């Protein structure tokens, strides 16, 4: 078994100048030299599309793969609220340092200083880039860019395009990608799943894919592979992720030697439309930006059956404003979610299930007018009404936390390279910048920072030291073997002749993970999850049914291949949550809390990134990357 020595490779020196200095020392290739190399990029969301476009502009030949029909359909498109940047346009005291500090603090001191500072620094370039592409950000009457606030911060630094910021940013990256497709520098493979990464002499040199239309299994060789495959929230079955978002590419890389970091750090977003029945297929997020104008409350009395509008002011508990007077409704996501769960567990939740709280706009509508609210959040209000059949201009929204984002992911160094040489991971698919909790409007920022401004430099440096492949090498035994194994696995799945739809098994898995590795965790539940998940695995391999042919469009087979990996990931999440005997950010262990029910960190013992190595026979093996803080003081996170 390989032994790993986790070293971030971040250079020494001043935090403020480190990245610029480092970047200028990286090896460069001219476009003519770069033209000899081929790079595979998996995923075409913000990270993948921006990386593909930029690498192609630099002269590389990019082969971009997506399970979607078009790059524009990647799930980044659904991000609503905005993107952070330390532009300080509002002159409210914002700076790179402040964004850096907010992000480190928001992540409850479990992320790497060097990476986070670089992210904050690059945030400004991102806005310049997107504006140049024609991204129609919201503007003030003077024609300058507008900003709004987001949770966990006290400045206004979030750029937005109504409630469709992700869509507009992705369309920007997609347009840059399309331009390179037209230039023949990017070849796009639509409707392809990546099912394995191929290593030659320990380096990532290609992939195995399944064409989702013909069912054909193919191999592709390249000089480097970049994974931009997003997060794994769908391990919970119900999440705000798109239906097909999955962990498969990452998991297959993990099985080949890429360590998986902090898998149990999953973000539960406080403002989602509550679950309504057993047929529910996914959850819908209501942007956090709504907390700028909406006030969160529940009745003071338990099991209060009155209509929201019939409950007088003095019988309402605006609990976030009460507990956190400084940040009020704008506390970070993990805090807002946990407090919502707490008031509902007390029996003060609202709605038919008792698992919802109100998000009330009445005061803002009275003060600023309905038109103002419509202008800012119109599409979100429409979406809410469409789903719930209730008018949020007249009656408060009902919301409840739901799984939304995964801070964990493949372990990467400062170059965003995984523990497999030549295999990079960018955007949500890596673990790098958000620690134990991500602040709102930071996912878009990280995806684009990695894709436009980091990996093009670090991958070029890596490639400049590599001899380019002279030809396609998919006839090498490593490729032939990987392809054969993939085909055998599919055959094995097709042969399971049970009577369960894969969705049914997925739902069962999701319930275990939500109940036991969800918003609050404890040793007993985590141990019981570790007993229950293998049973789900057994059920999956013995009782599912996949009708039809694998050499054809087969959406059930697609799902089965993904759920198989989610089951294995779920076990790893439980191991990780069990190992971490502390509470930090989104990882709330009930055994470790303060008298005021806040997360109790244990910096002495757990100030590390937990990176796990895969093992087929034994329990996963833990490697630790100690986190060093030279520029910030470790503090108890407080939003009071």
- Residues 160, 136 contacting (CB under 8 angstroms): no
Evaluate the CA torsion angle 519, 523, 527, 530 in order and state its sign.
Answer: positive
Q: At what angle do helices 46-57 and 165-182 cross, to 10 degrees?
A: 30
- Residues 160, 218 contacting (CB under 8 angstroms): no
Distances (CA, A) of 194 to 32, 132, 189, 466, 537: 29, 33, 11, 24, 22
Footprint (CB under 8 A) of other proteins, residues 371-390: 382-383, 386-387, 389
Task: Find the catalytic residue in 333, 348, 562, 637.
Answer: 333
Distances (CA, A) of 204 to 381, 418, 469, 609: 46, 10, 12, 24
| Residue 267 binds to other proteins (criterion: CB under 8 A) | no
| Residue 61 binds to other proteins (criterion: CB under 8 A) | no
| Residue 70 binds to other proteins (criterion: CB under 8 A) | yes
Footprint (CB under 8 A) of other proteins, residues 288-317: none
* Assigned token pair, 377: 């959040």
Q: Does 333 qualify as catalytic in the annotation?
A: yes
Q: CB 38 → other proteins: shortest distance, Å?
A: 20
Residues 497-536 as x/- pattern, contact with other proteins by CB under 8 A: --xxx-xx--------------------------------
**Alpha-carbon 273 to chain mean position:** 19
3-state secondary structure 419-455: CCECEEECHHHECCCCCCCCCCCCHHHHHHHHHHHHH
Q: CB 192 → other proteins: shortest distance, Å?
A: 13
Q: CB 635 → other proteins: shortest distance, Å?
A: 33
Q: CB 371 → other proteins: shortest distance, Å?
A: 14
In the chain, the largest separation of any two C-alpha atoms, in whole Å, equals 75
Footprint (CB under 8 A) of other proteins, residues 219-248: 242-244
- Of 301 and 374, the one with the shorter C-beta distance to other proteins is 374
| Options 23, 255, 276, 301; binder of other proteins; rule CB under 8 A | 276
- The two counts, helices (H) then strands (E), for the chain are 18, 19
| Residue 556 binds to other proteins (criterion: CB under 8 A) | yes
| Residue 581 binds to other proteins (criterion: CB under 8 A) | no
DSSP 379-391: HHHHHHHHHHS--
Burial of 51 (0-12, 13-18, 19+ CB in 10 A): buried
- Of 395 and 528, the one with the shorter C-beta distance to other proteins is 395
- Of 297 and 377, the one with the shorter C-beta distance to other proteins is 377
**Within 13 Å and on the Cβ side, how many CA atoms surround 172?**
27
Q: CB 388 → other proteins: shortest distance, Å?
A: 9
Residue with tokens 């009404």: 385
Name the nearest CA neighbour of 401 among 349, 352, 323, 365: 349
| Residue 326 binds to other proteins (criterion: CB under 8 A) | no
- Residues 334, 264 contacting (CB under 8 angstroms): no
Footprint (CB under 8 A) of other proteins, residues 90-149: 125, 127-134, 136-145
Q: CB 116 → other proteins: shortest distance, Å?
A: 21
* Assigned token pair, 168: 């507009």
Residues 181-200 as x/- pattern, contact with other proteins by CB under 8 A: xx-----x-x----------
| Options 167, 264, 329, 425; binder of other proteins; rule CB under 8 A | 167
- Of 134 and 347, the one with the shorter C-beta distance to other proteins is 134
Q: What is the DSSP letter of 275?
A: P
| Residue 164 binds to other proteins (criterion: CB under 8 A) | yes
- Of 342 and 556, the one with the shorter C-beta distance to other proteins is 556
| Options 414, 452, 462, 592; binder of other proteins; rule CB under 8 A | 452
Q: CB 456 → other proteins: shortest distance, Å?
A: 7
| Options 43, 71, 263, 351; binder of other proteins; rule CB under 8 A | 71
Q: Residue 304: which residues within 8 A CB-CB, separation 6 or more?
A: 311, 315, 348, 350
Q: CB 309 → other proteins: shortest distance, Å?
A: 22
Total residues contacting other proteins by CB under 8 A comes to 83
- Of 347 and 548, the one with the shorter C-beta distance to other proteins is 548
- Residues 455, 413 contacting (CB under 8 angstroms): no
| Residue positions annotated with a catalytic role | 333
């Amino acid at each position: 078994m390989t032994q790993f020595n986790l070293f971030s490779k971040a250079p020494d020196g001043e935090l403020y100048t480190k990245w610029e200095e480092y970047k200028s020392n990286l090896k460069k290739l001219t476009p003519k030299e770069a033209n000899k190399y081929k790079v595979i990029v998996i995923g075409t969301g913000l990270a993948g599309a921006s990386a593909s476009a930029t690498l192609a502009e630099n002269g590389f030949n990019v082969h971009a793969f997506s399970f979607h029909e078009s790059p524009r359909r990647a799930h980044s498109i659904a991000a609503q609220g905005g993107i952070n940047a330390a532009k300080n346009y509002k002159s409210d005291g914002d700076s790179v340092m402040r964004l850096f500090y907010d992000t480190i603090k928001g992540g409850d001191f479990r992320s790497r200083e060097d990476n986070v500072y670089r992210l904050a620094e690059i945030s400004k370039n991102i806005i310049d880039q997107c504006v140049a592409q024609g991204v129609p950000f919201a503007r003030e009457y003077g024609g300058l860019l507008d900003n709004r606030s987001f949770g966990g911060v006290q400045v206004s630094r979030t750029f937005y395009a109504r409630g469709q910021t992700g869509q507009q940013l992705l369309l920007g990256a997609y347009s840059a990608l399309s331009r390179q497709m037209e230039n023949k520098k990017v070849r796009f493979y639509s409707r392809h799943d990546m099912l394995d990464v191929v290593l030659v002499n320990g380096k990532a040199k290609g992939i195995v894919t399944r064409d989702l239309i013909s069912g054909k299994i193919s191999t592709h060789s390249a000089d480097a592979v970049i994974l931009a495959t997003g997060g794994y929230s769908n391990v919970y079955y119900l999440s705000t992720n798109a239906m097909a978002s999955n962990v498969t590419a990452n998991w297959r890389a993990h099985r080949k030697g890429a360590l998986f970091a902090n898998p149990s750090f999953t973000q539960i977003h406080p403002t989602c439309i509550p679950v309504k029945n057993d047929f529910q297929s996914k959850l819908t997020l209501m942007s956090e930006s709504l907390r700028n104008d909406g006030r969160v409350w529940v009745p003071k009395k338990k099991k209060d059956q009155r209509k929201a509008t019939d409950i007088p002011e003095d019988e309402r508990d605006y609990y976030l404003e009460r507990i956190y007077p400084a940040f009020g409704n704008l506390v970070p996501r993990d805090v807002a979610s946990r407090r919502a769960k707490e008031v509902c567990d007390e029996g003060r939740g609202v709605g038919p299930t008792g698992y919802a709280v109100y998000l009330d706009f009445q005061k803002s509508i009275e003060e600023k007018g309905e038109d103002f609210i419509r202008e800012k959040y119109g599409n979100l209000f429409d979406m809410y009404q469409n789903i719930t059949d209730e008018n949020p201009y007249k009656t408060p929204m009902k919301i409840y936390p739901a799984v939304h984002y995964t801070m964990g992911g493949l372990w990467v160094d400062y170059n965003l390279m995984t523990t497999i040489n030549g295999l990079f991971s960018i955007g949500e698919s890596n673990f790098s910048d958000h620690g134990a909790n991500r602040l709102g409007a930071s996912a878009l920022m990280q995806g684009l920072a990695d894709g436009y401004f980091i990996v093009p430099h670090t991958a070029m440096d890596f490639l400049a030291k590599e001899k380019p492949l002279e030809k396609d090498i998919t006839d090498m035994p490593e490729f032939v073997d990987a392809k054969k194994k993939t085909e055998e696995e599919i055959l094995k799945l097709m042969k399971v002749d049970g009577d369960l739809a894969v969705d049914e098994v997925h739902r069962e898995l999701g319930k275990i993970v939500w109940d036991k590795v969800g918003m609050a965790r404890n040793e007993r539940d985590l141990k019981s999850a570790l007993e229950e998940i293998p049973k789900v695995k057994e059920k999956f391999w013995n009782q599912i049914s996949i009708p039809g042919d694998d050499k054809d469009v087969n959406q059930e087979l697609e799902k089965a291949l993904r759920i198989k990996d989610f089951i294995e990931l779920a076990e790893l999440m439980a191991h990780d949550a069990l190992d971490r005997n502390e509470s930090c950010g989104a990882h709330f262990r009930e055994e470790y809390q303060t008298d005021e029910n806040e997360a109790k960190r244990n910096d002495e013992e757990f100030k590390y990134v937990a990176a796990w190595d895969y093992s087929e026979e034994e329990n996963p093996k833990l490697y630790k990357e100690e986190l060093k803080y030279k520029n910030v003081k470790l503090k108890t996170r407080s939003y009071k």
